[in-house]
Structure 1
Amino acid sequence: MGVDFGYRGERFGLPEHGPGSVAPVGRRIAALCLDWALCALIAYGLLADGPSSLGNWTLLVFTLTGILTVGTLGSTPGKRLLGLRVVHLSGQRLSFPRAAVRTVLLALAIPALIWDRDTRGLHDRLTDAVQIRV
């Protein structure tokens, strides 16, 4: 009935299940929610003047946290808690400039909502990144 594209991550040489496989969408969304909640808590406690500025400060903290943690450790706090990691398609750590571009595109939201057949968003495709299970 159609073309069989195989499993997610097959064309990158990733395993179908277990460590090193493409991270499931539910876990990635849960990690994003955890990261956003943590950044909102930081913004509320340290930076926000009131409820009206909380969203802007949260986005700024989210972007800075993503750039610093993905660029150095390979995962955000939410991803780390859920056993996920962002790597280059070669399997190596994502370079700091690529992590910065990826995070800025993620903060824009639209690139992250357009997926390919491996469930990678445009922000991952443009930086040659993939989120895997640890």
Structure 2
Amino acid sequence: MDSRRALGTWISGPQAAAEEMGVDFGYRGERLGLPRSGSGAIAPNGRRIGALFVDWWACSLIATQLISPGDQMTASLWAAGLFLVMSLLLIGTTGLTVGKRLFGLRVIRLDGRRPGPGRVLARTVLLLLVVPAVIWDRDGRGLHDKLAGTVEVRL
């Protein structure tokens, strides 16, 4: 094995190396029984981040302008609280938030039903902790989704 190939394997990661050796991982969501593309397919990461940004921005705007103008720390805590309440109400009842609707996404349980309040609470608290949300599996589900038994899909 030449050094360039070894370096390329190290940089691209173990999945790329395994795929180069002929291992077929399938498409994202295949193990969950979801379609490859279209409605019900795993949501792309860019859309998920965009929807999260819109939702967080809206909560931050409300917190800084209406609830706590001038005190940034208090406004950040209010924004997190508003985000939690918004997620509980909107995801718990419709499976989507304003940002998710704008980006064409929905949160569902693995069996296709709407997640209940307990799952939404667990998912949102873990999302607010940030670290579980940035640890993904090969299907693109963050730890917050895995632990809550949910998946974010396209509308």
TM-score by length of 2: 0.82
Aligned length in residues: 134
Following superposition of structure 1 onto structure 2, how do residues 68-107 of structure 1 map, counting pairs within 5 Å? 68-107=89-128
Partner of 1:14: 34
Which residue identity is paired with 1:100? Answer: L
User: How far 1:55 sits from its partner (Å)?
Assistant: 1.7
| Structure of larger gyration radius | 2
Greater fraction helix: 2
Structure 2 residue runs of 5 or longer lacking an equivalent are: 1-20
Letter aligned with residue 40 of structure 2? G
Give yes or no for the alignment of 1:123 onto 2:144: yes
- Gapped regions of structure 1 (runs ≥ 5): none
Q: State the match for 1:26 in structure 2.
A: 46
Moved over 6 A (4+): none
**Larger RCO: 1 or 2 (CA < 8 Å, sep 6+):** 1
Measured after TM superposition, the shift of residue 129 of structure 1 is: 0.4
Structure 2 distance, partners of 1:127, 1:10, is 19
SS of the residue corresponding to residue 80 of structure 2 reads helix
Report the RMSD for the aligned CA atoms in angstroms.
1.1
Q: Which moved more, 1:46-55 or 1:78-87?
A: 46-55
